[in-house]
């Protein structure tokens, strides 16, 4: 299976949306999209939650909105223009909906809608954190349907920020390396992860993060798949890697514990409740699922789902 196919199975990834990136800079075209009778708008509340009804995102009709209500253009889905409102809606403006945050909605919505919500949230997170020009301090104006911020004072353009982070399942022989942070739920272990630093290639970030967190030397790594993770702005880049030895030395204080788990350890731990993994929505879960299936023929989805 290619990394592209694996990515398609990751939550928030591979939404079949045409972002119309080459057309959204045209204000006349964008206005026509906005005024189209078929256009649909996703609301948010002050905490970034979205309205959900019957397990689906609740999209508003343009007729219900002021024509100048600020909105980000997401793209076209099967020809339907989709927007996300920039200003929060009061809860009593909509009836019979449940307001859900992205983490909660991710395990409820079908995958395309979860991806659309993640996309809308990621863009909004960047806009919330980018109100002033980083060069001259003047207020910024959003253009291109919300995908660029322009400074009228110094003329610079600002682009949505995405923070690259590697996440890796390291193996040695019949075991894989998982760690836990002290602030996590009891018994929860996960694959190792960390942000890519400036001037660093992805494979170098994998080697550095694993060494810093556990003292384990990575011999080699392979790309597995990617996942947008807008909490608030990460792009997770998943890897599989092999280690030279099993010696663990917790060095940088990020992890409270790190251990080598055989496939049997993981299966037995989930069955008897002595182990918890990250949510199935996460790429960490996908990496562990991939490792268990390809190395031991164990289907993680059939094991008790301790999260």
The count of chain residues that interact with Zn ion, using the rule CB under 5 A, is: 7
In the complex with Zn ion, the residue whose CB is nearer, 152 or 244, is 152
Q: Which stretch binds Zn ion (CB under 5 A): 43-51, 64-72, 128-136, 175-183?
A: 128-136
In the complex with Zn ion, the residue whose CB is nearer, 64 or 136, is 136
In the complex with Zn ion, the residue whose CB is nearer, 39 or 140, is 140
Residue from 32, 35, 108, 136 in contact with Zn ion (CB under 5 A): 136
Residue from 30, 50, 105, 133 in contact with Zn ion (CB under 5 A): 133
Site for Zn ion in 142-171 (CB under 5 A): 151, 153-154
CB of 135 to Zn ion, least distance (A): 5
Residue from 135, 195, 231, 264 in contact with Zn ion (CB under 5 A): 135
Reduced 3-state DSSP string for the chain: CCHHHHHHCCCCCCCCCECCCCCCCCHHHHHHHHHCCCCEEECCCCCCCEEEECCEECEEEHHHCCCCCCEEEEEEECCEEEEEECCCCCHHHCCCCEEECHHHHHCCCCHHHHHHHHHHHHHHHHHHCCCECCCCCCEEEEEHHHCEEEECCCCCEECCCCEEEEEEEEEECCEEEEEECCCCCCCECECEEEECCCCCCHHHHHHHHHHHHHCCCEEEEEEEEEEEECCCCEEEEEEEEEECCCCCCCCCCCCCEEEEEEHHHHHHHHHHCCCECCCCCCHHHHHHHHHHHHHHCCCHHHCCCCC
In the complex with Zn ion, the residue whose CB is nearer, 113 or 144, is 144
In the complex with Zn ion, the residue whose CB is nearer, 135 or 264, is 135
Residues engaged in binding Zn ion (CB under 5 A): 133, 135-136, 138, 151, 153-154
């Amino acid at each position: 299976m290619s990394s592209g196919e694996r990515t398609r199975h990751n939550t928030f990834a591979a939404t079949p949306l045409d972002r119309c990136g080459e057309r959204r800079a045209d204000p006349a075209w964008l206005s026509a999209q906005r005024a189209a009778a078929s256009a649909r708008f996703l609301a948010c509340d002050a905490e970034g939650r979205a309205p959900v009804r019957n397990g689906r995102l609740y999209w508003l009709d343009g007729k219900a909105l002021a024509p100048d209500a600020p909105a980000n253009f997401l793209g076209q889905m099967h020809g339907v223009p989709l927007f996300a409102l920039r200003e929060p809606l009061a809860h009593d403006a909509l009836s019979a909906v449940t307001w859900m945050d992205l983490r909660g909605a991710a395990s409820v919505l079908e995958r395309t809608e979860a991806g659309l919500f993640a996309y809308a949230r990621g863009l909004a997170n960047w806009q919330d954190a980018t109100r002033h020009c980083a060069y001259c301090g003047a207020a910024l104006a959003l253009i291109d349907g919300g995908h660029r911020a322009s400074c009228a004072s110094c003329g610079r353009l600002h682009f949505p920020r995405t923070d690259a982070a590697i996440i890796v399942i390291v193996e040695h022989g019949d075991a894989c390396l998982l760690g836990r942070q002290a602030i996590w739920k009891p018994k929860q272990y996960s694959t190792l992860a960390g942000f890519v630093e400036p001037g660093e290639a992805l494979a170098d970030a994998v080697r550095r993060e694993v060494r810093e967190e556990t003292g384990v030397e990575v011999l080699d790594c392979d790309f597995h798949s990617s996942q947008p993770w807008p909490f608030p702005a990460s792009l997770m880049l998943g890897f599989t890697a092999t280690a030279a030895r099993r010696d663990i030395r917790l060095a940088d204080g990020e992890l409270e514990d790190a251990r080598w788990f055989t496939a049997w350890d993981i299966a037995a731990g989930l069955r008897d409740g002595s182990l918890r993994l990250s949510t199935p929505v996460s790429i960490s879960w996908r990496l562990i699922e991939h490792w268990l299936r390809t190395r031991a023929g164990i289907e993680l989805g059939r094991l008790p789902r301790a999260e």
